[in-house]
């Protein structure tokens, strides 16, 4: 089986590529920058429509895992490039279908949901709502891609990702920012951390996306751990794992007035239809994340 992966060098993409390689798949990885992972790399900008058409004709993938999008931290929510990525995704999908692709997996976000305050987000029963340009663009791409592939009798899956952490995370994100402060012996200033979120190790996310792609599953599938934890619990666990609980300063930062109470995935479809279960629980994942940032700090200090 030949799989084309876009956004292959990103936070999630690199782990999806590794999981696919581990499954014995021929992987063609598309990214603006390449990584030292043993597969066929194609250094391309998919916002150029000629590149999408050319790579589809050249590779002739059996399946596509499409992760490429604008993801700059703090910017992507309102980045006008979201509209460009909707168009680029449709061009890639058409080109892949014309080249013989039979299954296309797109990647969305839990922000597409109108989050229930007491229940998990379910793919079939939880209503959708537009919150930002990012999730509106993602949801729009899903609708058109779904119709496109249905009209041609081809398989289409839409993976909605929840809250990820782990190796190579942007240092400004929650787990990375707290872990970095702890390994430096500095106070980790947080809000009260009352919000409940579904935290998943990015390595598990990459493996889940590979499993969805290889299973041929269709329709929307939540990708998360399937259980919630308060932000305060995550920060406090990191403090305990680092042996510095005194450095966790809950309430030192203001809470967001519009913070959703709870965003947790119903992962029944991922578990029963795809057959995927996460490898890492929260504690083991956070321990590895802490070790990662400790190693990064040592490397920085030695240079």
Say what the pLDDT of residue 59 is.
98
DSSP codes joined into one string, the chain? -EEEEESTTSTTHHHHHHHHHHTT-EEEEEESS--S-SSEEEE--TTSHHHHHHHHHHH--SEEEE--S---TTTTTT-THHHHHHHHHHHHHHHHHHTT--EEEEEEEGGGB---SSS-B-TTTSPB---SHHHHHHHHHHHHHHHHHHHTT-EEEEEEE-EEE-TT--TTSHHHHHHHHHHTT--EE------EE-EEEHHHHHHHHHHHHHHT--EEEEES-SS-EEHHHHHHHHHHHHT-GGGEETTSSPPPTT--SEE-B--HHHHHTS----S--HHHHHHHHHHHHHHHHHHHHH-
Query: What is the rounded distance in angstroms from the CA atom of residue 19 to the CA atom of residue 17?
Result: 5
Instruction: Specify the CATH number for the domain of residue 70.
Output: 3.40.50.720
Is pLDDT of 289 > 80? yes
Token pair 């999730």: residue = 135
Q: What is the pLDDT of residue 207?
A: 98
pLDDT band at 179, cuts 50/70/90? very high
Mean pLDDT of the chain: 97
Average pLDDT on 276-299 reads: 96
Q: Which token pair is 19?
A: 């999981």
Residue 272 lies in a domain: no
Q: Residue 102 falls within a domain, yes or no? A: yes
Same domain, 66 and 87: yes
In a domain, 100, yes or no: yes
pLDDT category of residue 267 using cuts at 50, 70 and 90: very high
Q: Does 99 fall in a domain?
A: yes
Between the alpha carbon of residue 201 and those of residues 123, 162, 302, the distances in Å are 21, 10, 28
Segments forming the whole domain that contains residue 37: 2-164+200-223
303: pLDDT strictly greater than 80? no
pLDDT value, residue 120? 98
Which pLDDT score is estimated for 299?
84
Number of structural domains (the chain) is 2
* pLDDT for 95 beyond 90: yes
Same domain, 218 and 139: yes
- Verify that 218 and 293 share a domain, yes or no: no
Same-domain status, 219 and 284 = no
> How many whole angstroms separate alpha carbon 158 and alpha carbon 254?
35
Does the pLDDT of residue 279 top 80, yes or no?
Answer: yes
Q: Which residues contact 77 (CB under 8 A, 6 or more apart)?
A: 132, 133, 134
Same domain, 209 and 69: yes
* 81-100: average pLDDT: 98
To the question of pTM greater than 0.85 for the whole model, the response is yes
Q: Are 5 and 28 in contact (CB under 8 A)?
A: yes
257 pLDDT band (50/70/90 cuts)? confident
pLDDT band at 79 (very low <50, low <70, confident <90, very high): very high
Structure confidence at residue 130 (pLDDT): 95
Residues 130 and 185 in one domain: no
Query: Rounded mean pLDDT of 199-216?
Result: 98
**In this predicted structure, what is the pLDDT of residue 300?**
82
- The reply to whether 7 and 153 lie within a common domain is yes
Asked if 205 and 189 sit in the same domain, the reply is no
Q: 182-202 pLDDT, tens per residue?
A: 999 999 999 999 999 999 999
Contacts of residue 185, Cβ cutoff 8 Å, sequence gap at least 6: 244, 247
Pairing of strands 163-165, 229-230: unpaired
Residue 273 lies in a domain: no
Q: Name the percent of the chain lying above pLDDT 90.
A: 97
Say whether pLDDT at 237 is over 80. Answer: yes
Residues 64 and 204 in one domain: yes
Q: Are residues 170 and 69 in the same domain?
A: no
Confidence class of residue 258 from pLDDT cuts 50, 70 and 90? confident
* CATH number of residue 237's parent domain: 3.90.25.10
11 and 135 both lie in a single domain: yes
pLDDT of residue 302: 77
Based on the domain organization, do 159 and 192 belong to the same domain? Answer: no
Mean pLDDT of 111-129: 97
* Confidence label for 297 from pLDDT (cuts 50, 70 and 90): very high
In a domain, 274, yes or no: no
Q: What residues are paired with 26 via a beta bridge?
A: 2
Mean pLDDT of 25-45: 97
Q: Is the residue at 216 inside a domain?
A: yes
Residue 270 lies in a domain: no
């Amino acid at each position: 089986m030949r799989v084309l992966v876009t956004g292959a060098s990103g936070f999630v993409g690199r782990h999806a590529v590794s999981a696919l390689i581990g499954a014995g798949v021929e992987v063609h990885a598309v990214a603006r920058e390449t990584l030292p992972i043993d597969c066929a790399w194609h250094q391309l900008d998919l916002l150029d429509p000629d590149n999408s058409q050319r790579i589809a004709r050249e590779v002739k993938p059996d399946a596509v895992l499409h992760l490429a999008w604008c993801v700059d931290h703090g910017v992507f929510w309102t980045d006008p490039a979201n509209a460009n990525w909707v168009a680029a995704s449709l061009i890639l999908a058409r080109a892949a279908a014309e080249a013989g692709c039979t299954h296309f997996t797109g990647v969305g976000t839990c922000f597409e949901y109108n989050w229930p305050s007491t229940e998990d987000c379910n793919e079939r029963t939880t209503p959708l709502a537009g919150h930002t340009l990012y999730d509106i663009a993602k949801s729009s791409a899903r609708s058109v891609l779904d119709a496109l592939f249905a009209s041609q009798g081809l398989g289409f899956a839409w993976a909605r990702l929840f809250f990820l952490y782990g190796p190579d995370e942007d240092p400004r994100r929650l787990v990375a920012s707290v872990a970095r402060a702890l390994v430096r012996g500095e106070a980790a200033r947080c809000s009260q951390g009352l919000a409940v979120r579904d935290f998943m190790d990015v390595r598990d996310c990459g493996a889940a996306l590979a499993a969805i792609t290889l299973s041929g599953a269709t329709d929307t599938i939540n990708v998360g751990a399937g259980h919630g934890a308060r932000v305060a619990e995550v920060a406090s666990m990191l403090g305990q794992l680092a042996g510095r609980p005194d450095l966790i300063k809950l309430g030192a930062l203001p809470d967001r007035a519009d913070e959703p109470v709870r965003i947790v995935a119903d992962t029944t479809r991922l578990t029963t239809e795809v057959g995927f279960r996460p490898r890492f629980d929260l504690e083991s994942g956070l321990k590895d994340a802490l070790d990662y940032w400790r190693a990064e700090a040592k490397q920085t200090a030695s240079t």
